[in-house]
Chains A and B, each alone.
Chain A
Amino acid sequence: MLEQVFRDEWGRVLASLIGFLGDFDLAEEAAQEAFALAAERWPRDGMPTNPRAWLVTTARNRAIDRLRRDRVLAAKTRLLDVPQTVEDVLEETTIPDERLELVFTCCHPALALDAQVALTLRTLGGLSTEEIARAFLVPEATMKKRLVRAKHKIKAAGIPFRVPPPHLLPDRLAATLAVVYLIFNEGYGGRGDLAAEAIRLGRALAELMPDEPEVHGLLALMLLNDARREARFADGVVVLLRDQDRSLWDAQQIGAGRAALDGALAFHGRGPYVLQATIAALHMDDPPDWRRLAALYGELARETGSSVVELNQAAAIAEAGEVEAALALVERLELDRYHYLHATRAELLRRLDRVEDARSAYRQALELVGSDAERRFLERRLAELRD
């Protein structure tokens, strides 16, 4: 219970402290002290009426004490005049929510992508350095160094703590959403806690930027994909969407995903995340509307310039019954090293009764395939081809 409060409040409290102190390290240390104090006192004395205000006030006072002790440091921060510590707990209404400023700082393109990811998880997500290191399979010392370096660059290079002005916002928002989606995809590959963390971040962003359709689009996409997590594997083998046991899908989360998508569409969103979420939602219909899916993949391919999306478009066109057209599309894609291209081509050729061509396409796919589960799948398809 206390842990939950801590997780929920960490980002808010830290953002407010960074805004007040203008210094990441000082803010983080002060926040840590305040949370440690709370962990000690709250179980004994009971939780304060307003936990957040208590945490911010306590952390601020700790930071100010520290600054008083260290005037040299004070000269280097925004606090040239060190304010007095306050006796009373701050009113909650006077604590601005500065998480957006924080997320845009952490996802600033002047930082390396892996640093953006780590910093976002540490500051907004409240994950410990050790947890982040474990999630990305790197030694804790490496992750610690990465975070220290990123925080140093923010300070030394003057990366601003603010929501970008309108002319920069579209690019910066896209960068921020990319970080959250990257975290989600790390989790989607098996580490469920990262997926949950990304969804939490997505929810916070949707709350903070209610008018941005792409934010809702990303949240919808993550919720819809994550809702099928229990059905995606059976005995360690990938289960194709059409073969998944629908009773294992999380209906409540699908509802939340569809609601987020409706929110995006209400703002006439048509960006890449809204399109992907729309596609994810359509795939869950039984049977899916393949013509609409093909059209949406086409739109997404034009928007992103991605050949992999075009390959998906071809698969949808084939499902809609136009196998020849699908094959024509596949054959002009430049994805020679991508086993899915050859596997898709093989499947289309098989449907057109071009057995010999299908056989050689399966063999090409087998030469390139990486995972054993997929190799077995392809070998079975190849063996099933009639002479």
Chain B
Amino acid sequence: MKYMLLIHQGDAPTPRSPDDWARLSEDEQQAVYSAYREVTEAPGVTPGQQLDEPETATTVRVQDGKTLTTDGPFVATKEALGGFLFFEADDLDSAIELASRVPAARLGGAVEVRPIVEY
């Protein structure tokens, strides 16, 4: 099975907002970094990319052949995608286990596990 793990930061503190990030102790910050490293280096994982902040997003729609752009992400900023990775595993339990090791999941965000359709 192939899965995509969509990482939503939600309320999780990240280095992008220094004030929030400073709420974590140095040890906790290091733990977040090493957890992300461990997750991306786990067997079966193909690291994705880290996305820039949702505020930098541009949302594109086409209506009547006309391209319309709006500033910001498609979903609410807080729910916007923060990053992703791919994971090849035997079953959903393995994917859930990996997802639970993503720091965002315990710091106020969430990880969505989506199976990838294979033909």
- Take A158-B1, A158-B91 as given contacts and tell me if A110 and B115 are in contact as well, using a CB distance cutoff of 8 Å: no
Chain B residues within an 8 Å CB radius of A164? 93
35-70 of chain A: CB within 8 A of chain B: none
**What mask results when residues 1 to 17 of chain B are scored 1 for a CB within 8 Å of chain A, else 0?**
10100000000000000
Chain A residues with Cβ under 8 A from B95's Cβ?
A: 158
In the bound assembly, the distance between CA atoms of A159 and B91 in angstroms comes to 6
User: CA–CA, A262 to B90, complex, Å?
Assistant: 40
Most buried by A among B93, B96, B113: B93
- A168 touches which one: B3, B89, B93, B115 (CB < 8 A)? B93
Q: Mark B73-96, 1 if CB is under 8 A from A, else 0.
A: 000000000000000011111011
Best-surrounded residue of B91, B92, B96 (most CB of chain A within 10 A): B92
Task: Name the residue on B nearest A110 (C-beta).
Answer: B92
Pairwise interchain contact A160-B93, C-beta atoms closer than 8 A: yes
Within A132-162, the residues touching B (CB, 8 Å) are 156-160
Report the interface size for chain B: residues with CB under 8 A from the other chain. Answer: 12
B117 / chain A contacts, CB cutoff of 8 Å: 156
B96/A110 in contact, CB under 8 A: yes
Q: Which residues of A contact B1 (CB under 8 A)?
A: 158
Say yes or no: A157 contacts B115, CB within 8 Å: yes
- Across the interface, which residues of B come within 8 angstroms of A156, CB to CB? 115, 117
Q: How far is the CB of B71 from chain A (nearest CB, A)?
A: 34
Expressed in whole angstroms, the Cα–Cα distance for A168 and B95 within the complex equals 13
Contact with B90, one of A110, A160, A168 (Cβ below 8 angstroms) = A160
Task: Give the shortest distance, in Å, between B91 (CB) and chain A (any CB).
Answer: 4
Give Cα A110 to B90, complex, Å.
Answer: 16
The contact string, 1 if C-beta is below 8 Å from chain A, for chain B 92-119, is 1101100000000000000001010100
Q: Nearest-CB distance from A43 to chain B (Å)? A: 42
Give the distance in Å from the alpha carbon of A184 to the alpha carbon of B90 in the complex.
34
- Please indicate the chain A residues that have their CB under 8 angstroms from the CB of B3 in the complex: 158
* B residues less than 8 Å from A159 (CB atoms): 91-93
Known: A156-B115, A156-B117. 15 other contacts (CB 8 A): A108-B92, A110-B92, A157-B115, A158-B1, A158-B89, A158-B90, A158-B91, A158-B92, A158-B95, A159-B92, A159-B93, A160-B91, A160-B92, A160-B93, A168-B93
What 8 pairs between A and B have smallest CB-CB spacing? A160-B91, A158-B1, A158-B91, A158-B92, A157-B115, A159-B92, A157-B92, A156-B115
What are 20 A-B pairs at a CB distance below 8 A? A108-B92, A110-B92, A110-B96, A156-B115, A156-B117, A157-B92, A157-B115, A158-B1, A158-B3, A158-B89, A158-B92, A158-B95, A159-B91, A159-B92, A159-B93, A160-B90, A160-B91, A160-B92, A160-B93, A168-B93
